[in-house]
Structure 1
Amino acid sequence: MPIDIAFLAIAEAQQVFHWLPAALELGKRADVRVHVLSPSRLILDLVASYDPEGRLDLIKLRRPSTKPDSLFRLPSRLATLLLNYRAIARFPTLVTTEITSAWLKRVPGFATRLILIKHGAGDRAGGYKQRHADFDLTIVAGEKDRRRMIGYGLCTETNCLVGGYAKFELRAPRRPLFDDDKPVLLYNPHFDPDLSSWVRHGPQVMAALKALQGWNVIIAPHVKLARRIPPIHSTSPHIRIDMGSRHSIDMSYTTSADAYLGDVSSQVYEFLITPRPCIFLNLDHHDWREDQAFAHWRLGQVIDRADALQGALDRAADLQPGLVAAQEAAMQDSIDLSPVPASQRQAALILDFAQKAQA
């Protein structure tokens, strides 16, 4: 009898790339039926674009909203779970990348086993919430996250396992982003208002980016930030802005940029799959040096004034050789870069768990 495994896609499109490789890998197996559940037809179409053979069973959930469908503005996750409870609860194993689904555990009689693939590989303390403890199995990208999950008491040695970072398998290829040959700086501010370099300091950062000499700039805020703030505009020919597109989530920019500018986004680890210069904006003067939530700031220059950016970029090439070893070590700790593809490792962990749960 085939094993039924459902992937719940109620989060925005940027999270799809974290679970889709494992779903596609499981879909190759004759003894597994893989179902994808989403209230968004656009999300299901995105999934289908990576599944030309149609191995995945795409299920459109009822949509608790009359707003237009969108890759980046999905209806309330809790409302979606409530409206579709029966359709979701019939599956013995459910895989997700968001933690609102942990609410299902509070419904009397809910017997589905929940698997969380943690999306991202960052250091921010906000990645560790009590709801993480409600999952039956958690798959993380690397040993760093496993240590921290166990240390926070959110997992145990047996139900938190390392599966790598499958998003790398779907990353866009390196390509020119501008018509000239100037190096490209990617600015990637986070959405957390207490940590983001843009929320309180946007005008100063934009002024520094406009004043840059010798660099092109891609401004690609985290899609959660992009939908919460007024659109960012610039008429400077060396600046391009992406407030939310497929390029902003498929690693087009982290693959193709030459230097990274940010604050606390885990996208820095996607950028560092190839060691390159990083600059971090500490415009709120955080006491970061002994704080593991800012561990990635040790992988580049940290500046506390936006107008120090040009100087930091001018120094970047000379400083980078001294940072490569630290960047590579941090990457290996954050993301297990095994020769075995992460999609295969995650699929094996999910299948093993599902077989035991369905036995």
Structure 2
Amino acid sequence: MPTSIAFLAIAEAQQLYHWLPTALELARRDDVRISVLSPSERILDLIRSRDPQGLLDPVRLRRPPGPDTLFRQPSRLATLLLNYRTLTRFPVLVTTEITTAWLSRVPGFPSRTILIKHGAGDREGGYKQRHRYFDLTLVGGIKDRRRMIERGLGTEQNIVVAGYPKFELDTEPQRFFPDDRPVLLYNPHFDAELSSWIRHGPAILAALEALDGWNVIVAPHIKLARQVPPITSQAPHVRVDMGSHHSIDMSYTTSADVYLGDVSSQIYEFVVRPRPCIFLNLDRRAWQGDPAFAHWRLGQVIEDLADLPRALARAADLQPGFIDAQETAMRDSIDQSPIPASRRQADLILDFARANG
């Protein structure tokens, strides 16, 4: 009988590429059956588009009331409750979201759960008590493993470094503008306490629209795009993306020349190839020494939007001084073994499934 493993696709599309390469790698192996469980036909269609050989077995879950778009899905907890009996048919469930931790707290729940921790950021919000209810957690790098163990969210035995399969998308740089001016990517986070956009959005947009000699991509975290009024701009050099394939498949982090942001983990998808970064400290936080802002050591930090043009003008000249810090931070945040992360994760998941089947 083949080893049965199910991947839960109950989150929005931005989490998809953190697990899909691993699911496809597992599905290519002998005596393994990989099911993908989702209440969304839109999400399943996107998965099918990345699985032309039909290696994965899509299972449409019962759907609670709520929207069905790539970036709006119904309550994850309601989805789990509505499909509880279906979920118990699978001995191992793999997910990238932490609502699924609820299942492990239900007396008698028979399945084992594996978390692939998505993202590689630094903010404290990436570490929740729910993390400790998973049987196995796969993290991108030693930073997450160290921090989770320090916070009592797992042990040296059940938190394992396994790389970042999203890097296997092989997204090529793209041209998003008709000219060759350098491209600035502004990528604000959704965290209301830390996001540069929540309190300063109109001023930031005005500063970006006033830039001379630059093209600008404004691509907020998709959760921010759901929380705030749509960002719009008539400036011909400004492209705003409130949620598309480009905003989740590394198209922008691959194609931009300079990164502008606050606390998004996408910074590590940008500096995998070292390039200039600028961070907005418009609330003048005392950030030095705070691990939640560790990535602010990877570029210039400005406290006034009036300083943005000068920071951009200096970015290329200052970048050599940041390369060592960027490369060190990448080694700590995301392990880039020559063995693909999807293969490493697949090995770990399959060994776990066979040992606990």
TM-score, normalised to structure 1's length? 0.98
Tell me whether 1:21 sits opposite 2:12 in the alignment: no
What is the CA distance between 1:68 and its match in structure 2?
4.2
What is the CA distance between 1:254 and its match in structure 2?
0.3
2:310 maps to 311
Instruction: Out of 307-316 and 72-81, give the one that drifted further.
Output: 307-316
* Aligned partners of 1:171 and 1:252 also within 8 Å: no
* Aligned partners of 1:171 and 1:250 also within 8 Å: no
Gaps of 5+ in 1: none
Secondary structure, counterpart of 2:196 in structure 1: coil
* Aligned partners of 1:6 and 1:37 also within 8 Å: yes
Q: d(CA) in 2 for partners of 1:154 and 1:332? A: 22
Q: d(CA) in 1 for partners of 2:30 and 2:325? A: 43
Q: d(CA) in 2 for partners of 1:309 and 1:81? A: 46
What is the CA distance between 1:305 and its match in structure 2?
1.2
Deviations 1:166-211 (A, max 9, x none): 0011142111111100000000000001000001100111111011
CA RMSD of aligned residues (A): 0.8
1:243 maps to 242
* Aligned partners of 1:24 and 1:55 also within 8 Å: yes
1:83 maps to 82
What is the CA distance between 1:265 and its match in structure 2?
0.2
Q: Could you list the runs of 4 or more consecutive aligned residues of structure 1 that deviate by over 3 angstroms after TM superposition?
A: none
Identity %: 70
* Aligned partners of 2:105 and 2:133 also within 8 Å: no
Q: d(CA) in 2 for partners of 1:92 and 1:12? A: 24
2:130 maps to 131
Describe how 1:1-359 pairs up with structure 2 within 5 A.
1-65=1-65, 67-358=66-357
Q: Which amino acid aligns with 1:159?
A: N
Q: d(CA) in 1 for partners of 2:119 and 2:138? A: 11
Q: d(CA) in 1 for partners of 2:231 and 2:172? A: 26
Instruction: Out of 104-113 and 160-169, give the one that drifted further.
Output: 104-113
Q: Which amino acid aligns with 1:95?
A: V
Secondary structure, counterpart of 2:198 in structure 1: coil
What is the CA distance between 1:149 and its match in structure 2?
0.6
Secondary structure, counterpart of 2:185 in structure 1: strand
What is the CA distance between 1:106 and its match in structure 2?
2.0
Q: d(CA) in 2 for partners of 1:120 and 1:98? A: 11
Q: d(CA) in 1 for partners of 2:304 and 2:310? A: 11
Gaps of 5+ in 2: none
Secondary structure, counterpart of 1:264 in structure 2: coil
What is the CA distance between 1:342 and its match in structure 2?
0.5
Q: d(CA) in 2 for partners of 1:239 and 1:146? A: 38
* Aligned partners of 2:101 and 2:133 also within 8 Å: yes
Secondary structure, counterpart of 1:186 in structure 2: strand
Q: d(CA) in 2 for partners of 1:309 and 1:179? A: 24
Q: d(CA) in 1 for partners of 2:240 and 2:29? A: 41
What is the CA distance between 1:31 and its match in structure 2?
1.1
Q: d(CA) in 1 for partners of 2:260 and 2:162? A: 28
Secondary structure, counterpart of 1:208 in structure 2: helix
Q: d(CA) in 2 for partners of 1:223 and 1:315? A: 30
Q: d(CA) in 1 for partners of 2:355 and 2:256? A: 44
Deviations 1:93-117 (A, max 9, x none): 0000000000111222102100000
* Aligned partners of 1:36 and 1:58 also within 8 Å: yes
Q: d(CA) in 2 for partners of 1:176 and 1:265? A: 23
What is the CA distance between 1:212 and its match in structure 2?
0.7
Q: d(CA) in 2 for partners of 1:68 and 1:108? A: 31
Secondary structure, counterpart of 1:199 in structure 2: helix
* Aligned partners of 1:171 and 1:251 also within 8 Å: no
Deviations 1:6-37 (A, max 9, x none): 00011000100000010000000121100000
Secondary structure, counterpart of 2:125 in structure 1: helix
Q: Which amino acid aligns with 2:28?
A: K
Q: Which amino acid aligns with 1:69?
A: D
Q: d(CA) in 2 for partners of 1:234 and 1:52? A: 37
* Aligned partners of 1:142 and 1:164 also within 8 Å: yes
Q: Which amino acid aligns with 2:276?
A: P
* Aligned partners of 1:218 and 1:241 also within 8 Å: yes
Aligned residue pairs, count: 357
Q: d(CA) in 2 for partners of 1:354 and 1:68? A: 33
